[in-house]
Structure 1
Amino acid sequence: MSKGITHIWRHPIKSHGREPLESASLIAGQCLPGDRVWAVAHEASEADGSNWVPCANFSRVAKAPQLMALEARYDETSEQVTLIHPGQGELTFSPDSDADLPRFLDWVRPLMPENRAASARVLRVPGRGMTDSDFPSISLCNWASHRAVEAAISHPLSPQRWRGNIWFDTGNAWEENDWIGRDVQIGEAVLTIRERTVRCLATTTNPDTGIRDADTLKTLRDTWGHQDFAVYAEVIQDGAIRVGDNVKVL
């Protein structure tokens, strides 16, 4: 079975929507372009945009399931993001604009649980995306592993539950977990596989409805003895990638 890329996804604002791409230009030491450029700090957060901080500082799907139903479109020329939600409609705004912040906070407020810290500000960290890893990462997801989880849980699952960047199919479930410490070539770029991705409550949420409806974490633990899906990689050689490009372990 081909190891070619089937999908490339970016998430312009952390936990606030996804966007498909046909291609991307990877740069050594950086995230997928346009991925997690911004994050939404909540009112109890100490994040100030000066450096990377853990995900607990931000509004995210694990605490606000309705955020999972968001889709996003990022216009890199205007630096504007359009968010689309089945219950809220659309909002186009500039995440860097203080003037646009009240509109965004008003729009997203109904998606946030009342018992959680409210969203307060949007920030970015210069030079990197706000990934869950403490290094600028790109997540690689194997369709074979996704199918294994679907079989174990006994019903279909949207791959968007995993919020991955690059999807491919080796035909062998969990093969990607054996790549830790190795390099892979994807299109013209080379990445080194750093670590497995430990999953959280967000993956229990349906991306179409924003409702928690599948115990993915229990399925992973009971069936395979871990809570991991996908691997984090770091770009070590610049290069373009496109849907259809092969993923080759070096």
Structure 2
Amino acid sequence: MNVVIRVDALYRYPVKGFTPERRESLVIQPDGRVAGDRALVFRFADAVAPEDATFPKSRGLALMTFPSLARVNLTFDDQADTIRLRVDDVDVTADLSDEGRALLAEAVTAYLRTTGDAPLLDADGILPLGLLGDGRTARFQDRPQGFVSLHGAASVAEVDAAVPAPVDDRRFRSNIVVSGAAPWSELSWTGRVRIGEVLFEVQKPIERCAAITANPDTGARDARLLRVLTGVFGQDEATLGILLLPVDGGGTIRVGDEVHPTP
């Protein structure tokens, strides 16, 4: 009996480091990025706007260094170009005008001041935060080519079973989650993989950072998942998921699409 691998969930991340946005479909651009993904970022004061489409985590707010960001419920309305930011007693909605950006940056800063991440704000070059991006152009990925990220739900389930803290797909912040693949089998995919109408070239496995240790509901670092991946699962580097680039111009992928790795 042949097992069918399908797209189980799709995500994009309008603001780098913040709330995932679950989607029924994603547009894969010819340049290898998801349309609207990481189209905004809260940059540090000493981080200038990049000339290229690369923005390392070290230049702005990211879960890797500010785990309490996971508690922020952030939604982006790409019709009205507004962001709503909710956490604790804070509930702010603002547009992408200069005044709106300043209001959102002040709200994020005020929230972080109430968390265990507050001392990080006092380092040289951090404040004041600024909000970069137009909300549409995917340009603040960590890597020059952007890439589309994918992992298997079964791999995450095995990690979840290995630790007492809850672990789900949100910790790994992939664009594509697939079901039907055996645990860890996606790490062995090479060559090309077709997802719905889009053909991809497999680039490499994803080496993970401390962002995955943050609980997506509480913002607490409650699981030593880097050690779990190297210790319990015997990996040389903490790895989960793979990076893809489209072949022949990209297209649209949808939840339920079949996934066909090269044998």
Q: Same fold (TM over 0.5)?
A: yes
Which residue number in structure 2 is paired with residue 18 of structure 1? Answer: 20
Which residue number in structure 2 is paired with residue 92 of structure 1? Answer: 93
Which residue number in structure 1 is paired with residue 251 of structure 2? Answer: 239
Report SS of the residue matched to 1:6.
strand
Asked whether the 8 Å contact 1:40–1:58 carries over to 2, the reply is: yes
Which residue number in structure 2 is paired with residue 161 of structure 1? Answer: 171
Alignment pair present for 1:8 and 2:10: yes
Aligned pair partner of 2:199 in 190, 194, 202: 190
- 1:70 to 1:31, Cα distance in 2 relative to 1, 3 A: farther
Cα-Cα RMSD: 2.1
Alignment pair present for 1:207 and 2:216: yes
- 1:185 to 1:89, Cα distance in 2 relative to 1, 3 A: farther
Which residue number in structure 1 is paired with residue 162 of structure 2? Answer: 152
Q: Deviations over 1:25-68 (max 9, x none)?
A: 222214112110111111243x3232223221111111111111
Which residue number in structure 1 is paired with residue 66 of structure 2? Answer: 64
- 1:158 to 1:105, Cα distance in 2 relative to 1, 3 A: same
Asked whether the 8 Å contact 1:25–1:239 carries over to 2, the reply is: yes
Query: What is the alpha-carbon distance in structure 1 between the residues aligned to residue 34 and residue 196 of structure 2?
Result: 14
Report the TM-score when normalising by structure 2.
Answer: 0.85
Q: Which runs of 5+ in 2 are unaligned?
A: 121-125
Report the TM-score when normalising by structure 1.
Answer: 0.89
Q: Which runs of 5+ in 1 are unaligned?
A: none
Q: Deviations over 1:92-122 (max 9, x none)?
A: 2234x21212211221013432222345112
Query: What is the alpha-carbon distance in structure 1 between the residues aligned to residue 92 and residue 200 of structure 2?
Result: 35
Q: CA deviation at 1:227?
A: 0.7
In the alignment of these two chains, the number of paired residues is: 246
More moved, 120-129 vs 191-200 = 120-129
Q: Deviations over 1:194-236 (max 9, x none)?
A: 1211111111111111111111111011122221111111122
Q: Deviations over 1:99-154 (max 9, x none)?
A: 21221122101343222234511223995331222212111011111112122225
Larger radius of gyration: 2
- 1:124 to 1:171, Cα distance in 2 relative to 1, 3 A: same
Asked whether the 8 Å contact 2:101–2:130 carries over to 1, the reply is: yes
Percent of aligned positions with the same letter in both sequences? 24
Q: CA deviation at 1:74?
A: 2.5
Query: What is the alpha-carbon distance in structure 1 between the residues aligned to residue 151 and residue 93 of structure 2?
Result: 30
Which residue number in structure 2 is paired with residue 129 of structure 1? Answer: 139
- 1:84 to 1:141, Cα distance in 2 relative to 1, 3 A: farther
- Map 1:25-40 onto structure 2 (within 5 A): 25-40=27-42
Asked whether the 8 Å contact 1:186–1:241 carries over to 2, the reply is: yes
Report SS of the residue matched to 2:105.
helix
Q: CA deviation at 1:162?
A: 0.7
More moved, 208-217 vs 234-243 = 234-243
Query: What is the alpha-carbon distance in structure 2 between the residues aligned to residue 189 and residue 83 of structure 1?
Result: 34
Report SS of the residue matched to 2:98.
coil
Asked whether the 8 Å contact 1:158–1:206 carries over to 2, the reply is: no
Alignment pair present for 1:228 and 2:230: no
